[in-house]
Amino acid sequence: DVQMTQSPSTLSASVGDRVTITCRASQSINKYLAWYQQKPGITPKLLIYKASSLESGVPSRFSGSVSGTEFTLTISSLQPDDSATYYCQQYNSFPLTFGPGTKVDIK
Amino acid sequence: QVQLVESGGGVVQPGRSLRVSCIASGFTFSNSAMHWVRQAPGKGLEWVAVISNDETNIYYADSVKGRFTISRDNSKNTLYLQMNSLRADDTAVYYCARDPGWELYFDYWGQGTLVTVSS
């Protein structure tokens, strides 16, 4: 199985800050990685697919990139509405697996 | 607009069975692969199973293989998850999620239904 790790597990940043979340795969997953945002008590929302493709309707301050097996989600200018937990998910092979999540708080 | 509405959750004793359902609307259900994803209370997301639009391809997580069965009825726009031999660690919110093709990620999610396995 492909193991996904995320760092940091939590972060606290101010409105307007640039925020970066890293997701690493235990083996090559090509670019088959998605990012989701989940707010407390709310269903997850797709942000990014194929490592860097922005889902329709998602603000352009969200972006994704990849270098080898290291994937990055960047929020260019953090907004109050971005307070949430962010999960990465690989879909290169079964079983599909998620990272443990990164909780983003607003200072 | 795409809507996915799960139902059928509840409290069930260990070893018993339960079936949860997901009714889809706002898109052509028969064209879409569908998934079940679960989330234990306070925990992260865990993929459970996927079924292709025509039921020819089905895959499960190892944790549920042999106990859970995913199925669908395209005439009713409904996805099912039959859960047998339930265990305490199956306690979770169960989400149905749409696949945008056979892409294996999830572009729309339902609101979830809570399954609690407890004596």
Instruction: Considering only the C-alpha atoms of chain A, give the largest distance between any 2 of them, rounded to a whole number of Å.
Output: 38
For residue A49, give the nearest of B45, B62, B105 by CB distance.
B105
Ordered per-residue pLDDT tens for chain B, 119 residues:
999 999 999 999 999 999 999 999 999 999 999 999 999 999 999 999 999 999 999 999 999 999 999 999 999 999 999 999 999 999 999 999 999 989 999 999 999 999 999 99
Distance of residue A18 Cα from the nearest chain B Cα, in angstroms: 25
User: Taking CB atoms and an 8 Å cutoff, what residues of chain A touch B61?
Assistant: 95
Residue A45 to residue A90: CA distance in whole angstroms: 15
Tokens of B16: 């018993």
* CB atoms near residue B8 (< 10 Å): 15
Torsion of CA B46, A25, A58, B96, to 10 degrees: -20
Distance of residue A96 Cα from the nearest chain B Cα, in angstroms: 6
A3: number of CA atoms within 13 Å, CB side? 2
User: In this structure, are residues A5 and A24 in contact, taking their beta carbons and an 8 Å threshold?
Assistant: yes
Contact check, Cβ <8 Å, B109/A34: no
> What DSSP state is assigned to residue B62?
T
User: In this structure, are residues A104 and A20 in contact, taking their beta carbons and an 8 Å threshold?
Assistant: no
| φ, ψ of residue B29 in degrees (nearest 5) | -55, -40
pLDDT per position as a tens digit, A65-107: 999 899 999 999 999 999 999 999 999 999 999 999 999 999 9
Of the candidates A6, A28, A1, which has an alpha carbon nearest to the alpha carbon of residue A72?
A: A6
Contact check, Cβ <8 Å, B111/A89: no
